[in-house]
Structures are given as structure tokens and as C-alpha cells.
Structure 1
Amino acid sequence: MKKYLPKLVQNDSWLEPYSGVISDRMIVADRKEQELTNGIPLIDFATGYLYFGLHKTDGGWVIREWAPNATHIYLVGTFNNWNEEARYSFKYIDNGVWELLLDEQDMSHGDLYALHVHWAVNFGKRIPAWAKRVVQDSETHMFNAQVWYPENPYQWKNPEFRREDEPPLIYEGHIGMAGEEERVHTYNEFREIMLPRIKENGYNTIQLMAIPEHPYYGSFGYHVSSFFAPSSRFGTPDELKQLIDEAHGMGISIIMDLVHSHAVKNEVEGLGNYDGTRFQFFHDGAKGEHPAWDSYCFNYGKNEVLHFLLSNIKYWLDEFKFDGYRFDGVTSMLYFNHGLEIAFTSYDDYFNANVDHEATTYFKLANKLMKEFNPHSLSIAEDMSGMPGLSAPVEDGGLGFDFRMAMGMPDFWIKTIKEKSDDEWDVGDIFYQLTSKRLEEKVVSYAESHDQALVGDKTIIFRLIDKEMYFSMRKDQPNLIVDRGIALHKMIRLATAGAAGGAYLNFMGNEFGHPEWIDFPREGNNWSYSHARRIWSIAENQELKYHWLYDFDKEMIRLINQNKLLTVSSVDLVLDNKPDKIMAFHRGLFLFVFNFNPTQSFTDYGIPLGAGKYKIELNTDNGRFGGHDLVDEDISYYTMPSGGITSQHYLNLYLPARTAMVLKKIDFPKVK
């Protein structure tokens, strides 16, 4: 009898020794789904947010929480002076679930509340795990849940919006630092100021960071405390809904940076020791603590935890109409050692005892749930391990993500800039790194994200220009270091976006070479906001060189968008002349040509092609982008045969040093 092979294995014969593991994890995920749902659809199972937490009923209020180790639970708040009262005492139902029914007059919109959870030997104040609104007191800095049932709730204007099945051009943004002032900015300001800017810049998807509530602003949103509450430091839930709604009205999708890889250790405003035990939501002991992040790790084998996390996924898609997620910390979840100190050079690394199959089951269920709820939803994995099948369909033996973050690309650019002189740049290696991915997967390509801009690291522009950024960014200040930096910044971005494996990402401000780094207010910088903002005015100042990069990014994204370049899956190498440092590749009708040579320009440089006529569509040397206008963009370029008419044709181009261009093939002459 012929052995069954999942499609993932059929497409890659090197996976055949691991076909049993791949088949087993498919079976395990199916069994877990059956155990959880008992046959009902997954989208009907993941509805905990409609049952747990605080809800308004026809006759009053109901609040439910899961706290299996609790002995008593009291609701306290502004309505009872934060005192434990008998009529605010929860009743135990079953399976660790507690419930409290209240009359309408017992609570009002805007009231603050919390739980007093008692267990055998102690008690503690807790923010309800399913709270949908959490606020921080400006004086005491303490967090409390808040009743959020406004008299006039937000009414959606674009409720039927569905993300187009087009390659995502992602603008990664953070609400709080999106403005110029030294403070926390708001949902409304992002909606009013940033949405038109992003639309004008041509991006079709926004990835919002730090949306679920987190007690420490400087965590960048990665130490989540309240998984169902949008951060109140940016505004109200309705203001977030309006932001998403208006983005949808512009045709822009919004995805969320989702953190299910770990949780903050805080006990009052987090899930740590929620019912008096560490192991309610998390693994107990060392397995439940992340050694690098000072946080707790979820127990993905526990049904109640899966219900909590899967309900959280559906909640943001349903209640706020997010269009998908970028799952943070996927590598950390997939491996028991969190992927630390592993090179991932062998297939054995992906299918050995270090792999957490409870996590692979969670990902299969999460991605299946997303597609059941919204077939157009977008699912991206932040994974540096490159696990085979990560971005393959669940039914093929994969984990179901649409895309994987190409995390090796920014590392490659940084390593190249840091460790190699310009004479050592290898165009063959550059092309390999740009296109290195598995055949069945799509990746989000990027030169740098927020990770490369954080304090302690450097952005690409800062690595290229460094201190000269402070002295020589006016147009009347000539500087060879700045010239080099601007030229390479454009080339690096064009190469990354032009060869992108299905999607492209940029962190806000990096498109114009935002100076310096990101540093949130903390004790070490005297709680300063000076580096937790984006200075948009320098990108628009025609006297500064930043606008050259800003304008180039707009044109690059416009070219990719209008011509649907990333829908062309094949990126074909045409030339990689290492001594000359010339690289050329084709993508559909478009030819990308790069001269990474730091000093030598080339006249009539021959690019071997089939017969054709080409027109320049984008040129980094254009004066509008800080170039020298050495290339004639107004003429058409024809390939010429090297000998007879049937011999190899060459496109002869003038290639100035440190420049790149994109040409489009505009007709197909017939060879007689």
C-alpha cells in the first residue's frame, strides 16, 4: 500500500523522511479541534468574548470570569467605593467559571471596576481577563477596567469592506509615536494625519503595533496585560474603530501586531497569578518563563487557554474589523528553547524533539479560524527559523500562514554595511539573499522594520551617514558621505522591494531616512519622548535632503502598485557581474539594473536579453531623488544583436556608479 504523503512533502522530496511527523501534527490538530468544538464550526467555538467579561443585558448587567483556583470573587469599583459587598459577590457556576448578575442601576457607562479574587491563602486585586476597556490613573498610575457602553456607540460606515487579494504593501506604524510632538499621540491624530499620508504614499496595508493594553509604554506593546482591551493611552475603543473604518473607506487594510507568544508578568493588571496560581494560563516552572523576555509563556495544550487565545483572534476581527494579524514571536512559540542559539541549517532542526507540537496545533487552529471568519484575512508569521510548511495551507500539511517575515534580509543588509567595504559588496550574494525562500511560501520582504530602529541599534540611513546626519543634510551642504548614504539607501530599498517574495514592509519614517533611533520614555533617558516620535516636517522641507528619499519611496511604491509587480512570482536573474558589481533581474515586463560599484560608471554596458524595446520607469539618479541626472530617461532603449539578427541581444545602458534603474519592456519586435 502506497504511503500517504501530505502535499507539502510531495512538493519537497527532502521532507519525505519527516512525512510521519508532518502527518501526525495534522492528525493531532484535527483531534484537538474535535475535542474543543465537539463538531461545531471553529468560529462558533471561539466566542468567549461574547460570554465572558462584562455585558449589558435587557435587565441589567452580567459579568463572568474563569478562575478555577478562586474561593471567592467580588466586584469592586467606583459604584461601591471599592469595598467588598455581598450583592457584588460572584456565584460559582462550574468548570472554574464565576458569574455575577446586577441590576441596571448598579453600574453605569464610565464606571471603574476590578475584581477582588480570593484563594485559599490570600487574595488580590485583578483586572478582569476579558475586560474590553482598561484605563490608567494619571496620578496613581494604577490600572482599572472601565465600563464601556456609550449611549451612542460607533456606527460603521464601511462594514462590508474586504481586503483585496493583492500583494500587501505594508506600512508598519505605532499610534503613540506617529506625531512630531514629544508626547503620546492618539487614534484620532493617526486617522486625521497619517491615513492621508499613507494613502498618498501608495501603501495598501497598515500594520498597527501596540494595540492591546500594555502597562509599560516602553515595551513597544510586546508585554501585553489586557488582551481584549485596546490601549486607552491612545484614545477610546470607538476612536480606534473610526480609524479602521476610515482606512477601509480609503481602500487600506489594517492588520494588528498580535502577541500570543507571551504575556507580561504583572499580577494586578495582567494574567500572572490571576487566580492565585501561576499555571492557570501559563506553564508552571521554568517552562512558563521566557529566559530572554522576562515574561510568561502560555500553555497551548490547555483547552481553556486555547479558547481564550482563539476567542481573542476572532474578537479583533469581529468587533474592530481588523483585516488580519502579524503574529509576533512565532519562533519562540515553535521551539521549546524558543529558537535561541540554533542556526537552523538542517531539516532535523524543524522536526526533532525541540518542536512544541502544542504550538503547531495552535497555529493550525488560529489560521483555520481566521479563514473561516474572513477568507480575505491576512496572516503573517514573524519567524526567523524558516520552518518548512509555515506558510503552506493547513490541508497540505502546513501551519496555514499566508506569509512569513523575511527576517534574514535586514540582518543581511546590516551585516553588509557594517562589515564590508563598498568594494567587497557581492552582487551574487545580494541576489541570493533577496530571493532566498521556499518555493511554496510567500514572504514579507523588508530592508528594516521597527526592530532595526530601536535604541542600541541603528537604522540603515544612520549606519550609512552617522554623525554627518547632524551637519550635512541641507542641500547647500555638499558631503560625499551623505551622497553615498542617500544613493545606497535608495538602491537597498529598490532591490528589496523589487525582488520581494510576495509582500513588502516599511516602518514609518524609514522611507525618508528618519534620523537617529527609537527610544521610549524610561528612567535611563529621564522619561524623554524626544526619540518616541516621527519628525515628518523634515521629509517635506524642500531645503533638506530627506525629501529626496521620501519622494523616491512614493515613486517606487507607485510603480510596484500600479503594475502589480509583486503578483509576478518569478524573479529571474539576468546578470551578476561580480567584478563590475552590476546586477540585473527581470520581473515580468520589468528589468531592474543595479550598479553597486562605488567609483566606476559604465558606458554602453550590455545587459543580455531577448529582442525588445525598453523605457525607463524609475531611476535613482534622477535629480528629483538627489541624483545627478546623468541618464536620459526620455528616450527609448532598444536591444541590439551582438552579431547577426538571430544572435544574443544586449541592452546597452549608461550606468553611473551607485545607481539603479527600472525599465519596462514596451513592445515585442518579431525576429524574421
Structure 2
Amino acid sequence: MSKKTKTPDPIPASFSLLTEFDVHLFKTGKHYKLYDKLGAHRVSHEGQEGTYFAVWAPNAVAISVIGNFNAWKDGQHKLFARWDESGIWEGFFSDISHGEAYKYAIHSNSGEYLEKADPFATFAEMPPMTASIVWAPKFEWKDETWLNERKASAGKPKPYSVYEVHYGSWRRKIEEGDRSLTYPEMAIELVNYVKDMQFTHVEFLPLMEHPFYGSWGYQLTGYFAPTSRYGSPEDFMYLIDSFHRADIGVLLDWVPSHFPGDAHGLFNFDGTHLYEHADPRKGFHPDWKSYIFNYGRSEVRSFLISNAVYWLDKFHIDGLRVDAVASMLYLDYSRKAGEWIPNDHGGNENIEAITFLKEMNEVVYAAFPDAVTIAEESTSWTGVSRPTYIGGLGFGQKWMMGWMHDTLQYFKHEPIHRKYHQNEITFSIMYAFTENFMLPLSHDEVVHGKGSLIGRMPGDEWQRFANLRLMFTYMFAHPGTKLLFMGGEFAQSSEWNHEKSLDWHLLAYDVHKGIQQLVRDLNQFYRNEPALYQHQFEQKGFSWVDYDDRENSVMVFQRQGEGKENVLIIVCNFTPETRRHYRVGVPYRGNWKEVFNSDQKKYAGSGVLNEGTLLTSPVKYHGRDYSISLTLPPLGISILRLEKEISEFDLNDLGT
């Protein structure tokens, strides 16, 4: 076939990347690398280089590929329906090359004519344009050291501190037309920043292709394509590779819960409700005005699970944060009576979605046991982060939404009233070890009129910043992994706006710079203290010393790693009163030392510290045989570590 031929005939469908076994797996929902088979693939056939296309559209009567190569005319590059009733159409064309924009022109059996982007496209035109692009990414990875270490440390306790980023508004080039940074630019600026701030991971709000920027990426049309707004797929690979070479993990926000109704997207793909439920009581999401995947359809499960695997496989990412899991689990989520259909047992559980989530997690962890899946799940569903073989959903971690809500609610109270709300700040420990929890102060807490974190702290300027330092330190001392949305780490004063850069100019002020230094030091402290992460999901890693000093609004607890050398006592003072000679029970006799204090002057605090050695007294306190007396900083936390244990033998030697 000559490349000069204007309207070449497709090579017969006997040529295919799909085997009978591929089709069997696809139709049974068990094909987990469907991205290697469907979509556009650069291949060589009978000595000719060209592009093979395969698309699932069982209710089509004719499909062709349209693009600049045929002046976007339907019918010139026809696909053939496979003989096996799989609903897959395919064809090979030697005159469609790398970099060509294309769509599928679909004639449905209902008479509709549709022009659709490729669900498996690996690249897309920059919005508002909507075509897919033939693309075969070629990239030489250099992150072997990171991946080998990730594999070697799989299953071992480790610090996990995540910096959550909305890519387009982290930092913008104001002098260049107020544009976002490209992937290669972020590979320098963001990587260096996250490294300097000592976070262990970065998490991006969805970076898959999405037509509406204002959706923050949560309304996807290109599930297999990193957004072209910031560069090519290779550029995005370079960004991930750069993070890994800086010893920083990368998590992606993933949205298997719903998709938008854009004309070029998955909705009504072949003139029927192919990917979504036909009945709006199951297939339409009232909150987001979007469409819900039909998890009971085998081909849809193959699509979604393949997509989860794709980002781990082809882009080397370290985990997926799964959005809106609660909306998937319940058939009546955000619905009134009569607006939903009960399951076969009469309940409100979405059995098909539950089965899908379990299978997705099983597949991901089987292929990538060193990766992680994290559920954003806001209800009391049992076992979200427990293995599927004991009835759980199989996630690695779950956002601790109750902790987030109670903590922010508590800190809104003026300190003089906090003694009446002590249960709000202590309640989280009642259920802290029922899941593998991540503590999120995410983007959801600084939008929709909620204001910034610093804006929600009470008091004058000094108290507001002291409260924020106190809250962040409490967060890092509390059991569980950590997540902080960008801007919070330097006390962004305005509510987050996805159209604007963060207010980096605030770092010219000591109070903002002090918060940034605190977060940097907390990350470093968390990394260096096994007591804070060795048992962060287990009851044995935490014990109360005193949760009932309501009058003083003081809370004391112990974090425990392996061995006596990995014990920390955390003393929290939730009022602006400096409390001197405050006695705290400790588990061991000896020399204790203050190893962290949120009131240090380098954090723009008042500098009320416990310097030198704190020697235990034989005074029994808080149910313990020994105690120490210390000064509690105002609106601050003091963290103590045993520096040297003193035994009876040591005391006798000293003549004590």
C-alpha cells in the first residue's frame, strides 16, 4: 500500500493485536493490560510501518478513523468488526503516522452519528480541542535505584508524608502570560521544593486528560493520557523520573467513580449507554452532573482495572489515591427516596462496585506489591483498608475524614472554650486503628467558602499562627500517615483558587516563613523518629498518658516504636497560657529531653522551651511510677524523648 494513496483500504481484520484469549479475558472482565491491545498502536505489518486501531463499540454499524490525513471525512479509513461478537472494531493504516490527531466516526444502530475520542488514547490535543493523538511514548527511565528500594522495603513500616498538588496553580509564570509550568519545568522547581520540604511523596490532583480545567481534573475524558496542557507523555515521565531520582514517591488521583457527558468522551459512546448505566437512578450522579460507570459490565471492569495498572506499569507511579469511594459503595449516595434502586437483597450497598474495588486492589497489589492504593472514603464502611480475604475492600490506606473534621472543628473554638470540647480532639483515637489511616488536610478543606487553614484559626495574628503550628505538630504526632495540600505549609492566607498561583510572596513575612520551617522540620522529625511510624497503624504504637485535663485543655500521649529508645511523650497545650511546673507521668526513670517544640522562635513562636535535661522524679503520676516537671509552651506542643534510662543499680552507684 503506497503512502500516497488518498483512500487506502484497511488491511483485512485477520490482522490484529488481539488473540482469542485476549478477547476472552476482555469479555469476562479479566484483561488487565487492555491498553496494550485497544487504542492506537504504531506497528509494522508486512514490511509497512503504520498504525493499528482497535475500539470497543458493539452497537455500531460502521466505524472509521477520521483526521487531517483524510480531511476529517467519514468512511475513508474504515474499521472492521471482529467476527467473534466481541464488539471490537479494528484496522491498520500505513498512512496514519505518529503525531496524527484522530477520532472515531461512529454510526450507531440507532442512526446516530458520533465523533468520539479514543478511550485508550495515550495523548490528546490540548483543550479546548478534543481529538486523540497517535502516540507511542519512548522514554529512557533512570529510576532503577528508587524502584529497587521500593521493592525491597515493601511491607515495612515507613514514614509517609504527602504534599498534595493541583498542578496548574502551584506556581505560575506571571511574567510569561501567567502560565502554568511545563512538566520539565516542574521537574526542577517542584522536585527541588518537595525535596527541600522533606515530604516523602507528592500527590497530584488528576492529571489525566480533562476538557474543563475548572473541574480540577476530576471530570476525565482521557483516562490513559496525561494532560497535554503541560507537555507530552514523555515529559510527564521525565517529571516522575526526576521525583524518583530525588527519592520522592509519586501518587496520582484516580477517578473511577464517574465521568462527564462531553460529546467526545465515554458517554453514549456508540449511541448506547456503553460505559454507564442506562437507568439514571444508577447511572447519573446528582452531585457532579456526571455519569457512573456500569461496574457490573465485564468490559468496563477490564477498562478501569487496566487503567489503574497502566499508570503503575507505564509511568512508574507509586500509588493511586482513589476519589469518591463512598459514592461508589452506596446506591443511595446523595439520593432521595425513589431516586435509587436497591440491590438484589433490598439494601443500599452497590454490590457491583464493591466487587470491582476488591478486584482492582487485588490486581494492583498482585502486580505491584510495593505500590499503594488509598481510598477517599468518608463513611463508617468497615474494612476499607483490610485485605479482601477477610472481607475488606483491599485498599492500603484510607483517608481519616473524621479526624480532619473533628480537628478543624476543635481548632475553630476560642481557647477559653476548648475545655468544653476536649472530646472532639481525643475522639479520633477511639477508632484510629480500625483502618490504615492517612490524616488529610486536603484541597477539599480550603475551597467552597471554607477559607484557608490559617483563616480558620481563632485569635489575633500571634494566636492564629500559634494555633496552626500547634495543629500541624499535633497532626504529625498523631498515629497515621500525613497529607497536606499545597499552600498550607506556609499558611496561605486566601482560599485556594485554581486559576491563580499560590501566594508565594507571603514568605517575605516571618510568620509565614516560620510555618514553612515548622512543616519542613516536622517532616524531618517524622522521618527520623521510628516511634512516629513503626506502629502508626497499630494500637501498640500509641497510649494515653492523660486525655482528661479539660480545665487546662492539655492532652498527653505516648508514641511507641521498637525498644525503649523509641518512645516519645507528646504534651499538647491548647491554650495561650504558659503552664510552668506541669507534671507528666513517664514510663521510664532517667534523663528525658525535649526534642521538638512548636513554639521555637525560628517558627515565629515565643521561645518557651525546656532546655537541658529533664530528670525523672519518683513521684507517681498518671498511673506511672515516675514523672517529670516541665513548662508547657503557649498554644504549643513539647515532645520528649528518653535520653538515658537510669536503673536502681545506677542510682546506688550515684549514692542516691
Question: 1:134-166 CA deviation, whole Å, 9 max, x = no partner?
Answer: 1136xxx3311112236xx21111146333442
From 468, 490, 512, give the equivalent of 1:512. Answer: 490
Whole-Å separation in 1 of the counterparts to 2:348 and 2:100: 47
Say if 2:29 and 2:302, in contact at 8 Å, map to a contact too: no
TM-score (normalised: structure 1):
0.83
Counterpart for residue 271 of structure 2: 276
Output the CA distance in 1 between the equivalents of 2:525 and 2:84: 59
Residue type of the partner of 2:308?
Answer: I
- Matching residue of 2:6: none
Deviation at residue 422 of structure 1 after TM alignment: 4.0
Equivalent residue runs for 1:624-663 within 5 Å:
624-633=602-611, 635-642=612-619, 648-663=625-640
Partner of 2:654: none
Kindly indicate whether residue 251 of structure 2 is the aligned counterpart of residue 264 of structure 1: no
Give the aligned residue type for 2:386: A
**CA separation of 1:232 and 1:384: change in aligned 2, threshold 3 A:** same
**Aligned residue number for residue 247 of structure 2:** 251
Alignment of 1:408-487 (within 5 A): 408-418=402-412, 422-425=416-419, 428-437=422-431, 439-446=433-440, 448-464=441-457, 481-487=460-466
Q: 2:476 aligns with which of 494, 497, 503?
A: 497
2:188 paired with 1:192:
yes
Percent of aligned pairs sharing the same letter: 27
Query: Does 2:545 correspond to 1:574?
Result: yes
Could you tell me whether the CA contact under 8 Å between 2:287 and 2:334 is conserved in 1? no
Q: Which has the higher contact order (CA 8 A, sep 6+)?
A: 1
1:333/1:251 Cα in 2 relative to 1: closer, same or farther (>3 Å)? same
Q: Where does residue 404 of structure 1 map in the other structure?
A: 398
- Over aligned residue pairs, what C-alpha RMSD do you find? 2.7
Whether the 8 Å contact between 1:367 and 1:401 is mirrored in structure 2 is yes
Partner of 1:366: 360
Q: Which amino acid aligns with 1:298?
A: F
Structure 2 residue runs without a partner (length 5+): 1-20, 338-342, 561-566, 650-656
- What one-letter code is carried by the residue in structure 1 that aligns with 2:307? N
Matches within 5 A, 1:42-53: 45-53=31-39
Q: Name the aligned partner's letter for residue 157 of structure 1.
A: K
Residue correspondence of structure 1 range 319-334 to structure 2 within 5 A: 319-334=314-329
8 Å contact kept, 1:393–1:400: yes
> Match for residue 312 of structure 1?
307
Query: Contact 1:453 / 1:459 at 8 angstroms: preserved in 2?
Result: yes
Q: Counterpart in 2 of 1:586?
A: 558
Count of matched residue pairs: 592
Q: 1:327 to 1:425 in 2, by over 3 A?
A: farther
Amino acid at match of 1:118: H
Kindly tell me: are residues 279 and 331 of structure 1, through their superposed partners in 2, closer, same or farther at Cα, counting changes over 3 Å?
same
Q: Which moved more, 1:197-206 or 1:437-446?
A: 437-446
CA distance in 1, matches of 2:513, 2:624: 45
Distance 1:419 1:63 in 2: 60
How far did 1:69 drift? 1.1
Partner of 1:25: none
Displacement of 1:205? 1.4
1:154 and 1:241 in contact (8 A); partners too: yes
Q: Distance in 1 between matches of 2:420 and 2:25?
A: 55
Is the 1:437–1:443 contact (alpha carbons within 8 Å) kept by the matching residues of 2?
no
Moved more, 419-428 or 48-57: 419-428
User: 1:434–1:496: 8 Å Cα contact kept in structure 2?
Assistant: no
Amino acid at match of 2:400: A
Cα distance change, pair 337–36 in 1 and its aligned pair in 2 (3 A): farther
User: SS of 2:179's equivalent?
Assistant: coil
Equivalent of 2:504 in 510, 520, 536: 536
TM superposition score normalised by structure 2: 0.85
1:266 positional shift: 1.1
The 1-side partners of 2:431 and 2:54 are apart by 46
Give me the whole-angstrom Cα distance separating, in 2, the residues matched to 1:99 and 1:398.
38
Alpha-carbon distance in structure 2 between the residues aligned to 1:381 and 1:308: 20
Q: C-alpha deviations, 1:419-471, integer Å up to 9, x for none?
A: 6664235574244334242635210013x210011242222201226xxxxxx
SS in 2 for 1:573: strand
C-alpha deviation, 1:241, in angstroms:
0.5
Give the equivalent residue in structure 2 for 1:148: 135
CA separation of 1:285/1:631 partners in 2, compared to 1, >3 Å: closer, same or farther?
closer
Give distance in 2, aligned partners of 1:62 and 1:37: 17
Contact 1:575 1:585 in 2 (8 A): yes
Q: Hey, what's the Cα distance between the residues in 1 that align with 2:620 and 2:215?
A: 64
- Runs of 5+ consecutive residues of structure 1 not aligned to the other structure: 1-34, 343-348, 466-479, 521-528
Contact 1:423 / 1:597 at 8 angstroms: preserved in 2? no
SS in 1 for 2:168: coil
TM-superposed CA distance for 1:184, in Å, is 2.8
Contact preservation (8 Å) 1:64, 1:97: no
In the alignment, what sits opposite 1:607? Answer: 584
* CA apart distance, 1:235: 1.3
2:551 counterpart letter in structure 1: P
Q: Deviations over 1:482-531 (max 9, x none)?
A: 10011010111111221132x111111211111211233xxxxxxxx3xx
Partner of 1:58: 44
- Cα offset, 1:371, TM superposition: 0.9
Stretch of structure 1 that moved more, 107-116 or 45-54: 107-116
Answer whether contact 2:29 2:300 (CA < 8 A) is retained.
no
Aligned equivalents of 2:617, 2:413: Cα separation in 1: 40
Q: Deviations over 1:548-567 (max 9, x none)?
A: 00001111111111123222
CA distance in 1: counterparts of 2:29 and 2:511, whole angstroms: 51
CA distance in structure 1 between the aligned counterparts of 2:71 and 2:252, rounded to whole angstroms: 37
Q: 1:87 to 1:197 in 2, by over 3 A?
A: closer
| Aligned residue identity for 1:305 | V
What aligned pairs does 1:191-210 form with structure 2 within 5 A after superposition?
191-210=187-206
Other structure's SS at 1:500 match: coil
Aligned-partner Cα distance in 2 for 1:226–1:429: 45
- Paired residue type of 1:335: Y
